Amino acid sequence: MPAKGATAITTHQPPASEVLVVGGGIIGLAVAWRARQRGHTVTLVERDELAGGASRVAAGMLAPVSEAEFGGEGRELLALGLDSRQRWPQFARELAAAGGLDPGLRCGGTLMVARDGDEAEALERELAFRQRLGFAVRRLRPSQARELEPGLAPHVRLALELPDDLSVDPRRVTAALRAALARAGVTVYEGCPVQRLLVRSGAVAGVALAAGRELRAQRVVVAAGAWSGAIAGLPAEATLPVRPVKGQILRLRDPAGPGLLERVLRFEGGYLVPRGDGRYVLGATMEERGFDATVTAGAVTELLRDASELVPGISELELAEASAGLRPGTPDNLPLIGAGALPGLVWATGHHRNGVLLAPLTADLVAATLSDAPAGRLEASCAPDRFGGASVSAAPAEAVVGATAGVSP
């Protein structure tokens, strides 16, 4: 049965959409919104409830500067992250107007902190790296860090202040996107697993739902998060390597209200994100456990131990929620955005740890792909054909290719 609020599956054949988005997480929702704004007729299909997967668990750091990593792929990801962060304020304003809900964008910046000598040495290297790249970053002695954030423990050894990072509340963002889609006339099917993509005459032509119906479309955008690699119906050479990377995360609440921490705090193995109203998100594990999304006592213990070592007041907070999400990982940790190996196929997936940050950029890049705009510099690092499948020879007319396992958008 479709979830509450979903469009009912009726017995008549709905008209083909220009664009069908598989997956109702933050990426699928943002893509559907932008595509509709560009004038396309849009349908979105979600197997469960909208934004009920990784988007619901995500902390919402928009932090390309503090998350910058050494190496070539790190540099590519940084370019994508900086570009998308720049788009966020406008995206948030437009979304607030279109969806009637404030997405909770915050500008407090990040503190990166070291607990001991080894971490302090590593932090000095991180400082030099960011200075070479020309980022705003300030080295803080422990006393200076505690002036900014009095909740920090006295034994913090060193801190960096990165004022340009932002954060957002992903649950508010997806609620606003959902409202914006409803207002814009996007057809949404919730609680409707996709069984397979339909391929007709060598081109993707829609989806077959597990419930037995087919939805036709000129283009299908696969935004199915960690399940994108398992989508059925494509020839093997057109599929892409996306795997689930589990993250466990806690939500904490200070009954006394805000004030324990103003800035996002990053430390070896974790982060603490204040929402500005007494709520905090503490994450996250990185685990390769397939599609297992159980919350474990060990992970909860470790997250709380590490964070309360740095911010002792954490121990007094209410534990409001413990959850686990599955990030869509790729072999090079870069996303997969753009045209796929078959006509009609578009990918918007593989965002790994950066789905929330990269949502505005992804939506714009997909909108450009849907308009057949020429690819630019940023598209090159996300091009799905870097893992093969640049073009697949046409299948026999009217053949449905591979109709096996179901997919979970």
172 is an interface residue for ligand GLY by CB under 6 A: no
CA distance 128 to 130: 6
Please give the backbone phi and psi of residue 352, each rounded to the nearest 5 degrees, phi first. Answer: 50, -115
Q: Percentages helix, strand, coil for the chain, rounded to the nearest 5? A: 35, 25, 40
CA distance 47 to 196: 12
Among 20, 32, 61, 370, binds ligand GLY (CB under 6 A): 61
CB of 3 to ligand GLY, least distance (A): 26
Please give the backbone phi and psi of residue 187, each rounded to the nearest 5 degrees, phi first. Answer: -85, 125
327 is an interface residue for ligand GLY by CB under 6 A: yes
CB of 342 to ligand GLY, least distance (A): 30
Q: Which is nearer to ligand GLY, 62 or 215 (CB)?
A: 62
The owner of tokens 């474990």 is 296
Q: Which is nearer to ligand GLY, 238 or 359 (CB)?
A: 359
Closest by alpha carbon to 26, among 48, 1, 50, 43? 50
Please give the backbone phi and psi of residue 4, each rounded to the nearest 5 degrees, phi first. Answer: -55, 135
CB of 67 to ligand GLY, least distance (A): 7
Q: Is 258 helix (H, G, I), strand (E, B) or coil?
A: coil
Among 65, 145, 197, 284, binds ligand GLY (CB under 6 A): 284
Cβ(148)–Cβ(265) below 8 Å: no
CB of 284 to ligand GLY, least distance (A): 4
Within residues 130-149, the interface with ligand GLY by CB under 6 A covers none
CA distance 42 to 367: 12
Q: What phi-psi label fits residue 158: left (phi over 0), alpha (psi between -120 and 50 degrees) or beta? A: beta
CB of 59 to ligand GLY, least distance (A): 6
Q: Which is nearer to ligand GLY, 117 or 269 (CB)?
A: 269
The Cβ of residue 405 has, within 10 Å, a number of other Cβ atoms equal to: 12
CB of 329 to ligand GLY, least distance (A): 10
| Sign of the dihedral defined by the CA atoms of residues 74, 80, 86, 87, in that order | negative
Q: Which is nearer to ligand GLY, 189 or 271 (CB)?
A: 271
Q: Is 84 helix (H, G, I), strand (E, B) or coil?
A: helix
Q: Which is nearer to ligand GLY, 196 or 353 (CB)?
A: 353
CB of 4 to ligand GLY, least distance (A): 29
CB of 327 to ligand GLY, least distance (A): 6
Token pair of 138 as six digits? 């300030």
Which residue type is seen at 242? V
Q: Which is nearer to ligand GLY, 284 or 401 (CB)?
A: 284
Among 225, 247, 340, 409, binds ligand GLY (CB under 6 A): 247
Q: Which is nearer to ligand GLY, 42 or 111 (CB)?
A: 111
Among 24, 191, 283, 409, binds ligand GLY (CB under 6 A): 283
Number of residues that bind ligand GLY (CB under 6 A): 7
**Burial track 15-39 (b if 16+ CB lie within 10 A, e otherwise):** eebbbbbbbbbbbbbbbbbbbbebe
Q: Which is nearer to ligand GLY, 181 or 226 (CB)?
A: 226
CA distance 224 to 222: 6
Q: Which residue is nearest to ligand GLY (CB)?
A: 353
Token pair of 147 as six digits? 């002036």
85 is an interface residue for ligand GLY by CB under 6 A: no
Q: Which is nearer to ligand GLY, 42 or 92 (CB)?
A: 92
Among 353, 365, 392, 401, binds ligand GLY (CB under 6 A): 353
Task: List Cα–Cα distances, 384 to 202, 239, 390, 408, in angstroms.
Answer: 18, 10, 8, 20
CB of 283 to ligand GLY, least distance (A): 5
Q: Which is nearer to ligand GLY, 192 or 284 (CB)?
A: 284
Q: Which is nearer to ligand GLY, 17 or 66 (CB)?
A: 66
CB of 325 to ligand GLY, least distance (A): 8
CB of 16 to ligand GLY, least distance (A): 36
CA dihedral 300, 306, 311, 316 (to 10 degrees): 30
Cβ(233)–Cβ(276) below 8 Å: no
By CB under 6 A, name the binding residues for ligand GLY.
59, 61, 247, 283-284, 327, 353
